[in-house]
Chains A and B, each alone.
Chain A
Amino acid sequence: MEQNGALTPTDEHELAEAVAGAAGPLRVQGGGTRTYAPVEGDTLSVAGLSGITLYEPGALTLVARAGTPLADIEAALAAENQRLPFEPMDHRAILGTEGTPTIGGAVAVNASGPRRIVAGACRDSLIGVRFVDGTGTIVKNGGRVMKNVTGYDLVKLMAGSHGTLGVLSEVSFKVLPGIETTVSLRLDGLSPERAVAAMAAALGSPYEVSGAAHVPVGPDGAPVTMLRLEGFEASVAYRSQKLRALLEPFGDARIDEMAGREGGTDPGWRWVRDAEMFGGGSGALWRISVKPSDGPRVAAALPDGKLLMDWAGGLIWAELDETFDVRAALSEIPGHATLVRASDTARARFGTFHPAPAPVAAISDGLRAKFDPRGILNPGLMG
């Protein structure tokens, strides 16, 4: 199970042996497309743990080994007219990585797209995990049913832990029915304040808006605000007219029917989901999470740079000069800022993840020490 110096187990037992037998730090990888920061150590790839192990469309349940390519999962779901609810983003554009995104990688970074505002994050659809902790012990938590409060919820803890608490071997999801029709409403020329107000109005309506994004400098150089509706054709037609009327104070919304769905996301929304406008860029790329109405304050507190607001203003992607201290500039605004892409210098200065309050940091350190007592899983990556 060794290939080009990398550990490449092909099943859970080999994975457990690889971790138990590791002499030093491990760089844990799925497809290697989502690693925010470089990690020193021997590569441990779970790409060999691949395949859907259970899919019951009638129960909205899918279970897959962690190394299964995301594309395989999306194809299997599409064949039954179903989808992953959380619309996981593809990090390859912004990180400049190559390789095959895996489902385990999506879980490890809790990757969630524009639909997060209505369907929840990856962690909300994740109903079970199997993983190998830092001692090489196999652990399961949750399961394959969507209502389960048996014991502590380590499923959520594993989602977004970037492989630092354990190496995922298998993940289970609640999935959702596919989408018949998608429509986007576009408003032009709004300031961030007006755009966030328009998005709040839309999300406060009963019309089930499934995407709300704003870009101050859009592809044509002007501000664009996008709202998305999904569902059965007649229902979407009805809701788009209602929503258009509701948004009248913000301008005359154009209604665009979407064509060419790919993996449940049309190209316009994929552009938002994957933060494509930052692909190939230089400078530090920050991912800032605040309450949506604080979005305009964030925009105002940052220097000139490229900006994308998703989640109705609550998720802000910002590409800025590497020397700018985003966390200091936003210290008065509750939330957090993650340095997703940066030079080694900027990363050394700011760190990847937002420092937590002391008690939470102590809990996080304590959890890590319990799950990985030797400190060998992606050392240095989270805190």
Chain B
Amino acid sequence: MEMPAPSPTILSHKARIVQRLLQVLPEDAVIHAPEETRAYECDALTAYKCPPLAAVLPASTAEVSDVLRICSEEGVPVVPRGSGTSLAGGALPTADCVILGVARMNDVLETNYADRYIRVQTGRTNLSVTGAVEEDGFFYAPDPSSQLACAIAGNIGMNSGGAHCLKYGVTTNNLLGVTLVLMDGTVTEIGGAHLDAGGYDVLGVICGSEGQLGVVTEATLRILPKPEGARPVLIGFDSNEVAGACVSDIIKAGVLPVAIEFMDRPCIRATEAFAGAGYPDCEALLIVEVEGSDAEIDMQLGVISQIARRHDPVELRESQSAEESARIWLGRKSAFGAMGQINDYICLDGTIPVSELPRVLGGIKDLSAQYGLDVANVFHAGDGNMHPLILFDANKDGDLEKAEEMGADILRLCVEVGGCLTGEHGVGVEKRDLMEAQFSPADLEAQLRVKDVFDPAWLLNPAKVFPLSVTASRRVAAE
């Protein structure tokens, strides 16, 4: 992974920069000893590592503002970091950067059930947002699989999704307002507890901007009343095409499930060996979940099962109880862990039009044969967000590179059929160099102009999202 050469000037000013940071932060909030900065050398994309110049852990918006003002004055790049769970290298440091971690900012600031929102500091984890309101019958809808660990800051940075997006949308659809600190230290409120923007939808641009426009320290999130209940049906098929057609027919029938999950045979076998959820040994498996009262669930599952039967399923199991539901979800929820047990893997995140599912699965099969690497598929079928897992051996020379090349080919295929490079993980460094497969120079230029407005010196989260060649002239001009 090519990264810009660190600035010798910044590296030589390290002592002064650390000194200035210590003037505005407590001593334990400034990490600068080389053996300690290593804790921040990577996120969940562990193939790439680089210890930062320093890492800071501010405890308030005012401290974040001070840090950014100092870094801005010193010309030091800043890499914002939530919990460091990015699979795309969104929080990968450069050697001359300051990592700004929001982990110490995890308070609930306000809960308001009459208006159905919660205001939190963004270091709070996704699951603990729901944790703060669930006793009162509410929840926060976006549920990325890392929800136990991932922070709201990162969710906003990457516009994270989850399994239940088909009904509830992704982060941007559940974000009402933020406190944003700009690179020069300016603090501003954008949005609030009201529903829509008064002028341009600046909030909409900030969400998903991968920490390149500003640092979000507080967020007002929409919370929803918990449904009365939810239960899934498990449906097995002996062909991917038929499973894909079934998904399409369910959607066309007017039922809107909260989740439609898809697993292919390699994934089913691996999870079965790992978790023993009792899945049938078949080519493709769907888990379709619906919500409502018991009677409403029965009715919807009835409609879904009726559609599924028209496609000759090899297995059809409607959950009748919480235990059965847990059993159906068990395999799916342990899929990534199961794959990790048997292999190293790269998890991709492309999205495709649902109608292209058979074609893309066929294409992945061909690439798998061509590269000689196995692929297991597990994904959110309702919205076309695929997570092919490319299995490789990290101890084998060149295997990672081969897997990465194959991943790039799969993502190019996603774009070719009308989809995109990333559905919920973000671009980060991982898919940075593929952006030109999806966007024309004019498309990218329009996005760069937004960055110019928010961060004219190009200091926030450098070398992410856009190919280095595309941003080169701007980075030079800003120096």
Q: Do these two chains really belong together in a complex?
A: yes
Interface set of A (CB-CB < 8 Å, partner B): 56-61, 80-81, 110, 112, 116-117, 120-121, 123-124, 133, 137-141, 143-157, 159-161, 165, 176-178, 180, 197, 200, 203-206, 232, 234-235, 238, 289-293, 311, 314-315, 334-336, 338, 353-354, 356-357, 359-361, 363-364, 366-367, 370-371, 382-383
Q: Is the CB of A112 within 8 A of B196?
A: yes
Q: Is B363 an interface residue (CB 8 A)?
A: no
- Among A80, A146, A334, point to the contact of B165 (Cβ < 8 A): A146
Q: Write the chain A residue with the least CB distance to B201.
A: A156
B295 touches A61 (CB 8 A): no
Whether A177 and B254, one on each chain, are in contact in the complex, defined by CB atoms closer than 8 angstroms, is yes
In the bound complex, do residue A154 and residue B205 qualify as a contact, i.e. CB atoms below 8 Å apart?
A: yes
Give the residues in chain B near A153, CB-CB below 8 Å. Answer: 159, 172, 204-205, 207-209
B454 beta carbon closer than 8 Å to chain A: yes
Residues of chain B within 8 A (CB-CB) of A176 are 256
Of all chain A residues, the one with the shortest Cβ separation from B253 is A177
B56 contacts chain A at the CB level, 8 A cutoff: no
Least Cβ–Cβ distance between A59 and chain B, in angstroms? 4
CB–CB B200/A234 < 8 A: no
B439 an interface residue at 8 Å Cβ cutoff? yes
A59-B188 in contact (CB<8A): no
User: B299 and A235: CB pair below 8 A?
Assistant: yes
B303 → A minimal CB distance (Å): 9
Nearest-Cβ distance from residue B144 to partner chain A, whole angstroms: 11
A290 touches B172 (CB 8 A): no
Contact A205 B465 (CB under 8 A): no
B186 in the interface (beta carbon within 8 A): yes
Task: Note all chain A residues with C-beta closer than 8 A to B209.
Answer: 152-153
Known contacts A58-B355, A234-B299; is A289 also within 8 Å of B198 by CB? Answer: yes
Residue numbers in A under 8 Å from B36 (CB-CB): none
Contact B200 A200 (CB under 8 A): no
CA distance A80 to B394 in the complex (A): 49
Q: Please pick, from A147, A157, A293, A359, the residue contacting B200 in the complex, using a CB distance under 8 A.
A: A157
Q: Which residues of B contact A56 (CB under 8 A)?
A: 353-355
Task: For B198, give its contact among A81, A159, A292, A356 (CB under 8 Å).
Answer: A356
Alpha-carbon distance A200/B114, docked complex (angstroms): 5
Given A121-B195, A371-B449, do A140 and B443 touch, yes or no (CB 8 Å)?
yes
With contact pairs A137-B442, A152-B208, A154-B446 given, residues A147 and B161 touching in the complex (Cβ less than 8 Å): yes
B450 at the A interface (CB under 8 A):
yes
Q: Are B205 and A205 in contact (CB under 8 A)?
A: no
* CB closest chain-B residue, reference A235: B296
Instruction: Show 16 residue pairs from A and B whose CB-CB distance is below 8 angstroms, ordered by the A residue.
Output: A124-B173, A139-B442, A147-B165, A150-B421, A151-B465, A153-B205, A161-B200, A200-B114, A204-B138, A335-B192, A335-B198, A336-B198, A353-B199, A363-B453, A364-B202, A371-B449
List chain A residues, Cβ under 8 A from B410: none
Within 8 A of A (CB), among B21-79: none
Q: Given contacts A145-B352, A364-B199, are A58 and B194 in contact (CB under 8 A)?
A: no
Q: Which residues of A contact B380 (CB under 8 A)?
A: 147
Does B232 make an interface contact (CB < 8 A)?
A: no
Q: How many residues of B contact A (CB 8 A)?
A: 96
B194 contacts A289, CB within 8 Å? yes
**Do A141 and B446 have beta carbons less than 8 Å apart?**
yes
A151 and B205 contacting across the interface, CB-CB below 8 Å: no
- Are B255 and A59 closer than 8 Å at their CB atoms? no
In the complex, whether B129 has a CB less than 8 A from a CB of chain A is: no
User: Are A151 and B435 closer than 8 Å at their CB atoms?
Assistant: yes
Please determine whether B440 and A159 come into contact, CB atoms closer than 8 angstroms. no
B204 and A123 within 8 A (CB)? yes
Q: Closest 7 interchain pairs by CB?
A: A156-B204, A336-B198, A58-B248, A147-B423, A366-B453, A291-B193, A359-B188
| Contact residues in A for B11 (Cβ distance below 8 Å) | none
Task: Indicate whether A177 sits within 8 Å of B255 (C-beta atoms), given known contacts A149-B158, A152-B208.
Answer: yes
A160 and B197: CB pair below 8 A?
Answer: yes
Q: Which of A144, A150, A161 has the most CB of B within 10 A?
A: A150
B340 within 8 A of A: no
A133–B446 CB distance below 8 A? yes
State in angstroms the CA–CA spacing of A377 and B449 once bound together. 18
Point out the residues of chain B lying under 8 angstroms from A120, CB to CB. 169, 173
Decide: A360 near B190, CB < 8 A? Known: A147-B161, A153-B159, A153-B205: yes
- Cβ B192 vs Cβ A291 within 8 A: yes
Across the interface, do B384 and A145 meet the contact criterion of CB distance under 8 Å?
Answer: yes
Contact among A117, A146, A366 for B384, CB-based, below 8 A: A146
- Interface bits B94-118 vs A (CB < 8 Å: 1, else 0): 0000000000000000001111110
B257: min CB distance to chain A, Å? 11
**Assuming A112-B196, A153-B205, A291-B112, what are 4 further A-B pairs, CB within 8 angstroms?**
A116-B195, A154-B446, A206-B225, A334-B192
Cα A205 to Cα B351 in complex, Å, equals 33
Q: Which chain B residues (442-467) contact chain A, with CB distance < 8 Å? A: 442-447, 449-454, 465
With A180-B254, A292-B115, A293-B115 already in contact, the answer to whether A238 and B198 are too (CB < 8 A) is no
A364 to B385, CA, bound (A): 32
Contacting A at CB under 8 A, from B415-429, are 418-427
Which residue from A81, A144, A161, A206 sits with its C-beta under 8 Å from B418?
A144
Contact B208 A149 (CB under 8 A): yes
B228 touches which one: A59, A121, A206 (CB < 8 A)? A206
- Rounded to whole angstroms, the CA-CA distance of A144 and B355 in the bound complex is 12
Residues of A close to B187: CB separation below 8 A: 359
How far apart sit A40 and B425, CA to CA, in the bound complex (Å)?
Answer: 44
Q: Are B438 and A58 in contact (CB under 8 A)?
A: no
Q: Does B405 contact A (CB under 8 A)?
A: no
A290 contacts which of B194, B353, B445 (Cβ < 8 Å)?
B194
**CB of B193, distance to nearest CB on chain A (Å):** 4
Asked if A151 and B447 sit within 8 Å, CB to CB, the answer is: yes
Least CB distance, B467 to chain A, in whole angstroms? 11
With A140-B440, A153-B207, A232-B299 already in contact, the answer to whether A336 and B450 are too (CB < 8 A) is no
